């Protein structure tokens, strides 16, 4: 408390305002004790100007508390030929007493403001009562002080994209699966993990495994969840872990291409996929300008015997169920990207048993930030080469992320296989995901119909071996077409209405199409649907 009183006392003498919560500002000066003979000379005037520039005058008007003998003199100059007169002691005592009272009140206000719930602040972007900022408050790019409640506390985990308002730009360009946050908030300790400081320090996890950096617990839970869902064969397969499925995709290209120097003048392996294909396939394939492989475009128009065909099913962006279109004769091979082959998006109609199959926790459980994917690989030599690529690329994969992914997958499987475990039915991820996707697709189709200028692919359904029921396909992305005659660039049209999507030309398709993520939080998705329905 003394420091707060001294700070305000300094502001009184200098004619400045109150700064912050009572903490001593860098420019603060102590009150001059009685008898010190402080004069309002040039140095003091300079100090006053510095205090004013550093925030003085922003607080309550304290002019009435200043000693009259100092406030009536011209600032910055001592009267010629006359010694400076000291303030009467009773005025100084009154000023100190008033400063203490004011600081106590303001400190109480600060405490109440800083401990009050902040959910209204995050929703409305302001507080009911303004809050004084201290001298160390951060400033935005224009030099204005920012509300400390809008700045994450030091060391706190990030929460991803900020909350939206009806006037926000709605960004549905990325497939950020924050829709699943609500589900995982309700699972409690079932998906939580504590890692001691001494654990996971070694590079190695299982030196006897082809993928020597794969944590045994993750290997076990990956196989378990696939057996539960029935979407992929695991017996006789090697599990290769990667930093997301994108790294595994690159590892597969490395493993399946002829080694460098295999033949003089040999052309790079052609990489193809049927349009519309995932927009990252061309970019990732050609990013390093490798001499081993190169992007060769649409598989439907490819002519040749040496290739790697990428088969994404359900397809990103249009959700279609895909099969390889090339015969795999000669030197052709296929890599199946099955990131969306889970019950919340589509009916599980068969147990996939392809040579190389890619999966990720990003779209299966929603944990995109964990950066864990896995490949199921039939051939041991291919699995070994994929593990070698990851070894050369990142010297393995984070064990901490693997342990978290294993715990998350275990929570998914436990909810179905251990129904006696409390509220297991409420914690069933695929049931939750399907309900959400069904509702969101119903809302989107209604909005497109209300607008009259958009069209979507027709619904398809099939018997799901996992649920034992007929299931409608509800893809993670909507392949939306703008049918208005004067609109040739649907992404640009939507951008003008503060909706960000990904243009069809990035998928090798017509720019009248856009890909729309269906996986954002409820508030963003609700605003998007309402805004879309109003477009004409």
| Burial label, 107 (beta-carbon count in 10 A; 0-12, 13-18, 19+) | middle
What is the CB neighbour count within 10 angstroms for residue 518? Answer: 24
Distance CA 100, CA 96 (A): 6
Residue-by-residue pLDDT tens, the chain, 536 positions = 444 443 323 333 333 333 333 333 333 333 333 343 434 444 444 444 433 333 333 333 333 333 444 334 444 444 444 444 444 444 444 444 444 444 434 433 433 333 333 333 333 333 333 333 333 333 444 444 444 444 456 667 887 888 899 999 999 999 999 999 999 999 989 999 999 999 999 999 999 999 999 999 999 999 999 999 999 999 999 999 999 999 999 999 999 998 866 655 678 999 999 999 999 999 999 999 999 999 999 999 999 889 999 999 999 999 999 999 997 666 799 999 999 999 999 999 999 999 999 999 999 999 999 999 999 999 999 999 999 999 999 999 999 999 999 999 999 999 999 976 556 667 899 999 999 999 999 999 999 999 999 999 999 999 999 999 999 999 999 999 999 999 999 999 999 999 999 999 999 999 999 999 999 999 999 999 999 999 99
CB 402 within 8 A of CB 374: no
Give the SS3 label for residue 482: strand
Residue appearing with tokens 């490819």? 302
**What CATH topology corresponds to 433-534?**
3.90.1150
d(CA 157, CA 424): 28
The full set of domain ranges for the chain reads 11-165, 216-416, 433-534
Beta-bridge partner residues of 307: 270
Question: Using N-to-C axis directions, what is the helix angle for 244-256 and 380-394, rounded to 10°?
Answer: 120
Q: Residue 421's pLDDT is what? A: 59
Instruction: Give exposure, 225-235, as e/b (b: 16+ Cβ within 10 Å).
Output: bbbbbbbbbbe
Phi/psi at 260 (5° precision): -60, 135
CA distance 157 to 147: 19
Q: What is the DSSP letter of 352?
A: B
Helical segments of 339-478, H only: 361-364, 380-394, 399-417, 429-451
- Is the Cα torsion angle 526, 529, 535, 536 positive or negative in sign? negative
Contacts of 98 (CB under 8 A, 6+ apart): 12, 62, 65
pLDDT of residue 31: 37
Q: Give the model's pLDDT for residue 329.
A: 63
What is the DSSP annotation of 251-284? HHHHHHSPPTTSSTTPPPEEEEEPSS--THHHHH
The residue whose two tokens read 């109440």 is 112
Is the link from the previous residue into 414 a cis peptide, with omega within 30 of 0? no
Main-chain phi, psi angles of 45, to 5 degrees = -65, -40
Q: What is the pTM of this model?
A: 0.72
- Please answer whether residues 305 and 319 qualify as being in contact, where contact means their C-beta atoms are separated by less than 8 angstroms: no
- Looking at residue 425, its pLDDT comes to 67
332: left (phi over 0), alpha (psi -120 to 50) or beta: beta
* Residue found under tokens 């009685």: 34
CATH number of 216-416: 3.40.640.10
């Amino acid at each position: 408390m003394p420091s707060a009183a001294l700070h305000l006392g300094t502001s009184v003498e200098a004619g400045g305002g109150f700064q912050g919560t009572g903490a001593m500002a860098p420019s603060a000066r102590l009150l001059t004790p009685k008898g010190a003979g402080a004069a309002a000379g040039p140095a003091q005037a300079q100090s006053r100007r510095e205090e004013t520039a550093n925030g003085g005058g922003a607080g309550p008007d304290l002019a009435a508390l200043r000693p009259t003998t100092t406030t009536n003199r011209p600032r910055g100059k001592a009267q010629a030929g006359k010694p400076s007169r000291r303030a009467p002691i009773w005025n100084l005592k009154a000023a100190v007493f008033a400063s203490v009272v004011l600081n106590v009140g303001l400190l109480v206000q600060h405490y109440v403001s800083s401990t009050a719930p902040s959910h209204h602040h995050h929703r409305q972007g302001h507080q009911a009562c303004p809050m004084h900022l201290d001298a160390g408050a951060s400033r935005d790019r224009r030099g204005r002080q920012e509300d400390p409640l809008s700045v994450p506390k030091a060391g706190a985990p990030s929460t991803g994209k900020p909350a939206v308002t009806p006037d926000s730009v709605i960004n549905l360009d990325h497939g950020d699966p924050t829709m699943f946050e609500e589900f995982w908030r309700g699972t409690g300790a079932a998906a939580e993990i504590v890692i001691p400081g001494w654990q996971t320090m070694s590079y190695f996890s299982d030196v006897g495994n082809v993928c020597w950096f794969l944590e045994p617990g993750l290997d076990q839970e990956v196989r378990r969840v696939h057996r539960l869902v029935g979407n992929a064969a695991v017996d006789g397969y090697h599990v290769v872990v990667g930093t997301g499925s994108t790294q595994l995709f690159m590892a597969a290209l490395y493993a399946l291409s002829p080694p460098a120097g295999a033949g003089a003048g040999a052309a790079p392996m052609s990489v193809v996929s049927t349009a519309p294909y995932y927009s990252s396939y061309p970019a990732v394939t050609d990013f390093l300008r490798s001499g081993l492989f190169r992007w060769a475009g649409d598989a439907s128009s490819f002519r040749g015997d040496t290739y790697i065909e990428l088969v994404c099913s359900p397809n990103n962006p249009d959700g279609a169920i895909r099969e390889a279109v090339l015969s795999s004769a000669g030197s052709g091979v296929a890599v199946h990207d099955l990131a969306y082959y889970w019950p919340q998006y589509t009916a599980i109609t068969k147990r996939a048993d392809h040579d190389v199959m890619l999966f990720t926790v990003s779209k299966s459980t929603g944990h995109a930030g964990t950066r864990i994917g896995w490949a199921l690989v039939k051939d041991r030599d291919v699995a070994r080469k994929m593990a070698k690529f990851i070894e050369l690329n990142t010297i393995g994969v984070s064990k901490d992320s693997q342990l978290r992914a294993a715990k998350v997958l275990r929570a998914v499987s436990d909810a179905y296989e251990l129904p006696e475990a409390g509220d297991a039915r409420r914690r069933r991820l695929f049931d939750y995901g399907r309900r959400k996707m069904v509702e969101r697709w119903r809302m989107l189709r209604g909005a497109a119909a209300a607008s009259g200028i958009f069209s979507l692919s027709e619904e398809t359904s099939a018997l799901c071996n996992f649920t034992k029921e007929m299931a409608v396909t509800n893809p993670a992305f909507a392949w939306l077409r703008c049918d208005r005659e004067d609109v040739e660039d649907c992404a640009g049209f939507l951008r003008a209405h503060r909706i960000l999507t990904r243009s069809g030309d990035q998928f090798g398709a017509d720019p009248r199409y856009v890909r729309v993520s269906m996986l954002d939080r409820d508030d963003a998705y609700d605003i998007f649907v309402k805004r879309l329905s109003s477009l004409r």
